[in-house]
Amino acid sequence: MASDDAAAVRVVGGWASPFVMRVCVALRLKGVAYELLQEEPGKKSELLLKSNPVHKQIPVLLHGGRPVCESLVILQYVDEAFAGARPRILPADPYDRAVHRFWAEYADAKLPTALRTLRGMIDGDKAEAAEQLAFAACSKGQRFFAGDDIGFLDIVLGSYVGWFRAAERITAQRVLDEKRTPRLAAWVARLCGHEAVRDVMPDAGRLVEFGEALRAALAANAQRM
């Protein structure tokens, strides 16, 4: 890929967002250079509002100035736009692609609520919430869901790992338990050691601090209203 094309790839987002992280991992997996444009927590930049006027949310991928929104859509776009770069992000087989998309949608429907429950932000059964990630152990004995290298479902599920580790620190309740879910814990270790992941996986302690600061800022804003 030409250097001028690489310079045209930008990601509007924030380091703590799992949805932003998955876009960065996809680009790194493909070997695509990019610039991360950090949004200030609690605020929406003019660029974000202009690039994603419908949902007004991060992440947004800017490729040659054209915006692509919604993280799952972005992952598929990256796979197709940089199809000449290996590995593939989505499986080649249509049925396998459908299965991975199904579980990705399931993860995004279930895991954010599970995380909020574990962190005490909403009421719910914390033990049940802790089990929500356990289905990731169904990797058919492969190193990753995609086989020997990470792919679409690995990226989607893996983007939540940092926040689950942060929730463990907040609640002192183990989620990624080597004894209870050894295959899941082994998958997480392999994922976090991958060269496309390790430099963008947020530190759990830093996420705890970020969450506390954001909660305090939101509470202060609510009092002023």
Predicted confidence band of residue 130 (pLDDT cuts 50, 70, 90): low
Domain architecture of the chain: domains with CATH:
3-81 (3.40.30.10), 94-208 (1.20.1050.10)
Note the pLDDT tens digit of each residue in 161-198.
999 899 888 887 777 778 877 888 888 999 999 999 99
Whether 127 has a pLDDT exceeding 70, the answer reads no
* DSSP codes joined into one string, 149-187: S--HHHHHHHTTHHHHHHHHHHH---SS-TTTSHHHHHH
pTM for the structure as a whole:
0.88
Q: In angstroms, what is the C-alpha Rg of the chain?
A: 18
* Phi, psi dihedral angles at 135 (to 5 degrees): -65, -15
Contact 130, 115 (CB under 8 A): no
Nearest partner of 201 among 209, 189, 213, 212, judged by Cα: 189
Note the pLDDT tens digit of each residue in 34-83.
999 999 988 899 999 999 999 999 999 999 999 999 999 999 999 999 99
Q: Is 45 exposed, middle or buried (0-12, 13-18, 19+ CB in 10 A)?
A: middle
